[in-house]
């Protein structure tokens, strides 16, 4: 870890408030994490959409309602993913969608202007973060729409 007081992790270690401006490496790490969450959420939503459209889900009444929710979630997610990809292209950030897997850790590589970094975590943490992302696109965005 760089022990420079402009580094927000170091500032937090010493009980100081974070600096107002994030460095490009901090923005790149957040962008990589967001991209990975969106990537996995899109895979899950696409898989569920195929299941519902193929009538592979037994016992569900009104599957068209679920299909509609999933399609709207995918549309919103695609818009956000496009914005994120534009940001990443502007800052020369590239994220690998292929993960390096172990039973206790999932790691993705990303590059900022050709310099390689990695981001990852425990599978249950990634799963929880992807679940939050799915909840946001499927539930919370739908809650803001009025029925009447």
Look at residue 5 and tell me whether its pLDDT is greater than 80.
no
pLDDT at residue 36, as a whole number? 96
Residue 10 lies in a domain: no
Least confident among 2-6, 47-51, 80-84, 106-110:
2-6
Look at residue 140 and tell me whether its pLDDT is greater than 60.
yes
Residue 53 lies in a domain: yes
Residue 124 lies in a domain: yes
Residue 5 lies in a domain: no
pLDDT at residue 9, as a whole number? 66
**Domain of residue 82, residue span:** 21-143
In the chain, the number of structural domains is: 1
Contacts of 120 (CB under 8 A, 6+ apart): 99, 100, 105, 106, 107, 108, 126
Q: How many CA atoms lie within 13 A of 67 on its CB side?
A: 13
Overall average pLDDT of the 86-114 stretch: 93
Closest among 40, 14, 16 to 126, alpha carbons compared: 40
Phi, psi torsion values for 43, nearest 5 degrees? -60, -45
d(CA 89, CA 80): 14
Task: Give the pLDDT band (50/70/90) at residue 3.
Answer: very low
Residue 94 lies in a domain: yes
- Cβ count near 29 (within 10 Å): 18
Residue 77 lies in a domain: yes
Residue 12 lies in a domain: no
Contact indicator for 94, 111 with CB cutoff of 8 Å: yes
Least confident among 59-63, 106-110, 142-146:
142-146
Residue 7 lies in a domain: no
């Amino acid at each position: 870890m760089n022990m420079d007081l402009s580094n927000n992790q170091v500032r937090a270690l010493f009980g100081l408030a974070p600096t107002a401006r994030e460095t490009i490496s901090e923005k790149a790490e957040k962008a990589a994490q967001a991209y990975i969450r969106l990537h996995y959420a899109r895979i899950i939503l696409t898989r569920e959409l195929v299941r519902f459209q193929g009538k592979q889900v037994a016992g569900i009444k009104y599957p068209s309602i679920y299909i509609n929710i999933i399609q709207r979630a995918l549309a919103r997610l695609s818009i956000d993913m496009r914005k994120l990809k534009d940001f990443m292209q502007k800052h020369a950030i590239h994220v690998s969608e292929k993960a390096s897997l172990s039973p206790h850790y999932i790691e993705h590589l990303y590059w900022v202007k050709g310099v390689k970094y990695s981001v990852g975590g425990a599978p249950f943490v990634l799963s929880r973060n992807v679940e939050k992302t799915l909840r946001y696109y499927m539930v919370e965005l739908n809650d803001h729409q009025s029925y009447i």
